[in-house]
Amino acid sequence: MSMLRVVNPATGTVVRDLPCDTPASVDGKVAAAREALPAWRERSLGERVAIIRRFRDMLVERADQLALVLTTETGKPISQARGEIRATPGRLDFFLENVETVIAPKLMRREPMGSGVPGTGALEETVTYEPLGVVANISAWNYPYFVGSNVFAPALLAGNAVVYKPSEHATLTGLAIAGLLHEAGVPEAIFTTAVGRGDVGAALIDAGVDGVFFTGSYSTGVKVATSAAHHLIPTQLELGGKDPVYVADDVDPAAVASALADGAFYNNGQSCCAVERIYVHRSVFMAFRTAFVEAINGFSMGDPAKTDTYLGPLTREEQLAVLQAQVDDAVSKGATVLAGGRRADREGWYFEPTILSNVTHDMKVMREETFGPVIGIQEVSDDQEAAKLMADTPYGLTAGVYSADRARAAAVLAQLPTGSSYWNCCDRVSPVLPWTGRGHSGLGSTLSHEGIRAFVTPRAWHMRAP
Ligand code: NDP
């Protein structure tokens, strides 16, 4: 039997070995979910809402113990793990409060009776929304509570069954989520986990599901979309980013530097919407640079289980080589290392927080997703140059502008094809707004009303009275 080894990134020690699913067991889980679906759909929306509300309350009660599991398998600092779990109920509340309105039948048009001859009776045109069926939720490890619940909560509320494939790097968390959902009242066959690596995710797409909701990298997203296309099933992809921020010349560079340091280095830069590129107006560049380096030097790196640790290890060992290659490539092309630049000299998968200046778009660090604690800062001469460089990417997840002038910021942001635009903020997600990417950042939306409607399919009713 194939096994999945869970390793603590802070120490390299083995936490658990878990048996993996096989294509046959995944098929069995999808078939069991399909069998259980009619009974789940027969429950009222109010019952499903009560179940997810119980799950929400359990997250609050058990945040500390769940955070420890997340920290142990991903290396996420414990204060950030608790922060993620404690913020998830806010997202769930949005779904709980909005699902009924969003999926309620909508009467679009009513025409009175015509002349009275057959075929001219009063007409009603109505839309109803029906659950998709059994959906695959293939998830990432960096924010498993956020990106997982963005999918499984509205999916379950809308009357679907979910087969959840946690990332191999957050499987214990995936199993913990399943346990809580079952305890809250979701039938076991209606929410099941598929444990394993990418091959298990691939098998799930081919197991007869009615929709695929994927969070992960662009390269895997392409594979997922290609496989799903053969089944012609709805497919949603929440992918990576190369998110830029522009610092204009009318702001306090020190205050902005501190906000951007957090936006770039929170969770070790392992966020889809982490700030990945910074462009700074020439007239505040030096002041910004100095303050940014100072902010990074203030970050404490260490044991992620300690509450005062801000930077833990990377979750994936192989990312150490990716980061080093980006730094080496930049330095070989003329970049200056202002801080860090290499693997930290300690046990575990730690990389020093790294700032590069004198960067250009010939360097990988300004073009490829970094997904780690490495950032390039580039000087620009005006808003136009900033907008041109910010748009120079195949990704389109988020972009931000720091400026005292809203119209000026909006003029830059309007030129960029991105799913989210930020003025004087960054690295943030709101449950009331669609979370969506363009280009290589994905297809479809989670959160907001769009992210509920994604889990239902419309039916058009043309109803004419005799
Ligand atoms: P990956 O693309 O490596 O993996 C995502 C999921 O897909 C995992 O569960 C993985 O399993 C699974 N998988 C791998 N290969 C296949 C396959 N051939 N078919 C089906 N499933 C497969 O991404 P990461 O987990 O490393 O997550 C990091 C990426 O996710 C970054 O690019 C980040 O930007 C992006 N992301 C985007 C978000 C957004 O909302 N836009 C939010 C969070 C992250 P396994 O892990 O077992 O290999």
Counting beta carbons within 10 angstroms of the beta carbon of residue 462, is it exposed (0 to 12), middle (13 to 18) or buried (19 or more)?
exposed
Widest distance between CA atoms in the chain: 87
Q: Which residues are catalytic?
A: 238, 272
- 416 vs 391: CA distance, rounded Å: 6
pLDDT at 185 over 80: yes
- 113 vs 119: CA distance, rounded Å: 9
Residues 159, 163, 164, 168: what is their CA dihedral angle, to the nearest 10 degrees? 180
* DSSP secondary structure code for residue 462 in this structure: E
The pLDDT of residue 119 = 79
Tens of pLDDT along 228-281? 999 999 999 999 999 999 999 999 999 999 999 999 999 999 999 999 999 999
pLDDT at 118 over 80: no
Q: Which atom of ligand 1 is nearest to the CA of 166?
A: 9
Counting beta carbons within 10 angstroms of the beta carbon of residue 116, is it exposed (0 to 12), middle (13 to 18) or buried (19 or more)?
exposed
List the one residue out of 187, 190, 191 whose CA is nearest residue 177.
191
The pLDDT of residue 113 = 81
The pLDDT of residue 375 = 98
Nearest CA to ligand 1 atom 28: 216
Three-state SS string across 261-316, please?
HHHHHHHHHCCCCCCCEEEEEHHHHHHHHHHHHHHHHCCCECCCCCCCCCECCCCC
- Cα–ligand 1 centroid distance for 235 (angstroms): 14
* Coil, helix or strand at residue 348: coil
The pLDDT of residue 466 = 87
Note whether 120 and 113 are within 8 A (CB). Answer: yes
The pLDDT of residue 450 = 98
Note whether 416 and 399 are within 8 A (CB). Answer: yes
pLDDT at 116 over 80: no
- Cα–ligand 1 centroid distance for 71 (angstroms): 19
- Cα–ligand 1 centroid distance for 81 (angstroms): 19
Task: State the average pLDDT over residues 128-146.
Answer: 98
Taking all residues of the chain, what is their mean pLDDT, rounded to a whole number?
97
3-state helix, strand, coil in the chain (%, to 5): 40, 20, 35
Tens of pLDDT along 384-399? 999 999 999 999 999 9
What contacts 65, CB < 8 A, 6 or more positions away?
Answer: none
Tokens 């936006």 belong to residue:
263
* Coil, helix or strand at residue 247: strand
What is the pLDDT confidence band of residue 115, given thresholds at 50, 70 and 90? Answer: confident
The pLDDT of residue 19 = 97
The pLDDT of residue 1 = 82
What is the pLDDT confidence band of residue 308, given thresholds at 50, 70 and 90? Answer: very high
What is the pLDDT confidence band of residue 117, given thresholds at 50, 70 and 90? Answer: confident
Residue-range domains of the chain with CATH = 3-239+441-464 (3.40.605.10), 243-429 (3.40.309.10)
Residues in contact with ligand 1 (CB, 6 Å cut-off): 138-143, 147, 165, 167-169, 197-198, 201-202, 215-217, 220, 223-224, 238-241, 272, 369, 371, 397, 435, 437, 442
Residues 84, 430, 368, 318: what is their CA dihedral angle, to the nearest 10 degrees? 10
As given in the structure block, the two tokens for residue 31 are 């078939």
Q: Which atom of ligand 1 is nearest to the CA of 141?
A: 25
Angle between helices 45-61 and 171-184 (to 10 degrees): 130
Note whether 261 and 136 are within 8 A (CB). Answer: no
Site to probe by mutation for ligand 1, drawn from 209, 212, 215 as the one with most ligand atoms within 8 Å of Cβ, is 215
Nearest CA to ligand 1 atom 35: 216
- Cα–ligand 1 centroid distance for 253 (angstroms): 35
Q: Which atom of ligand 1 is nearest to the CA of 316?
A: 26
What is the pLDDT confidence band of residue 340, given thresholds at 50, 70 and 90? Answer: very high
Q: Which atom of ligand 1 is nearest to the CA of 227?
A: 19
Alpha helix (H) ranges present in 104-185?
A: 144-157, 171-184
- Cα–ligand 1 centroid distance for 141 (angstroms): 8
Task: State the average pLDDT over residues 71-89.
Answer: 98
Task: State the average pLDDT over residues 24-37.
Answer: 98
